[in-house]
Structures are given as C-alpha cells and as structure tokens.
Structure 1
Amino acid sequence: MKERLAFKMKLKEGQKEEYYKRHNAIWPELKLLLKQTGISEYSIFFDEESNSLFAFQKVESGASSQDLSENPIVKKWWDYMADIMEVRSDNSPISKVLEEVFYLE
C-alpha cells in the first residue's frame, strides 16, 4: 500500500539556484537507492519568501528517505548539500515531518 509523506527543510539565503543545479544532476546511485527503498514519487517545492523547501514522497508502506541515515550514499549526499542547507552536526538536513490534514482523492 502506498503512503504519502511530507516534510520541510530550509535553504541558506541565496542558495536556490545552486540547490536546483545539484538536484537536476542528482547522482544515479542515489536515485536508484530511493527507488529501491520504495519511493515512487518525490517532489520538492521551494517557498521564496521563507527559503523553505516542502518535500512530498509517495512510498511503499513503512518506507521513507528519512530512514536512510546510515546509508553511505545518503551520508555523502548530505555532506555535498551541507554548505547550502540548514543541517545538523552530522550534515543531515534539519527537517520536520508534516502531518497530513486533508487529502482529496
């Protein structure tokens, strides 16, 4: 069964173009890992006013990119993105899972 997950993150000021550039050239091994994890859809939207990123994933039951913190590919990606995003001490993005309050099918 598919589930929908949403979370938000934040870019550092002035990093929108660099964020787009890096995601347009997402590493093939990271893309494959996400698909193998059960993520069939993954969209990220940008709010210019707050520098916030809103992410949406459609996942197999129990799957999420948020559960890949020990994977070396993911850790390498975090290190690569750390200079343009708000991150924790391990370079993981500071993210907040959002509660779904409405869905129209």
Structure 2
Amino acid sequence: MEIRSYILGAPFVFGTCYVILYRGILYPSRGKGKKMEILGARLKILRNEAGKTQQGMADFLGCQVRHYQLIEAGGSNLPIPKLMKVADYFGVSVDYLLGRTENREINR
C-alpha cells in the first residue's frame, strides 16, 4: 500500500499508508500505520546514541514528556517544523526519520 497525501489539493505518494497534511502536521488517515512506528523507533535510536533522555527531548521540543513518549511509541506524530528541528539536531534527513531512506545523510 502506498501513502497518499494532499497538499494544496494535489495528491502525492508518501510511503506505505495514507496521510493527510493539515496545518503542518502529518495525520494518518487509516490507522497509525507503520510510518509513525518507524519515526518513533528512529527517534529512540538517535536519542539513545546521543545520550539524551525522553525528558530532555520533550524539553527540546517544547512538549510534555508523555507526548514525546507517545511519539516514540508510534501513537502520535510531530508537526513538520519540529520534525525538521529534530532532523537538524541529530544531523539526519527528514526522509531518514520518516523511513523513506536508510541513508542518514542530508542531501543539500
């Protein structure tokens, strides 16, 4: 299955489940799907590699620790600006965080 999202009324393929972009936030439209699980798993790996706590990441993102825990568990997602902030902090691409590539490097 592929992800379809609508930005400015035009559909585009995003991955393996359906997603809707609304006010800068990606929302799964058919269950949480594997994309949010991939995001959470990669955030946890990167956080552990950097020696950060969940509380530290929640403070960095300006959210409650419980919300960050939900993100890592695949039960919630990040607004695009915060997703970009996390990618910049860890020096990885947003595509890597979302599971679209295995390459951590940023292509500029």
TM-score range, shorter chain: 0.3 to 0.5
TM-score, reference length from structure 2: 0.34
TM-score, reference length from structure 1: 0.35
The structure with higher relative contact order (CA 8 Å, sep 6+) is 1
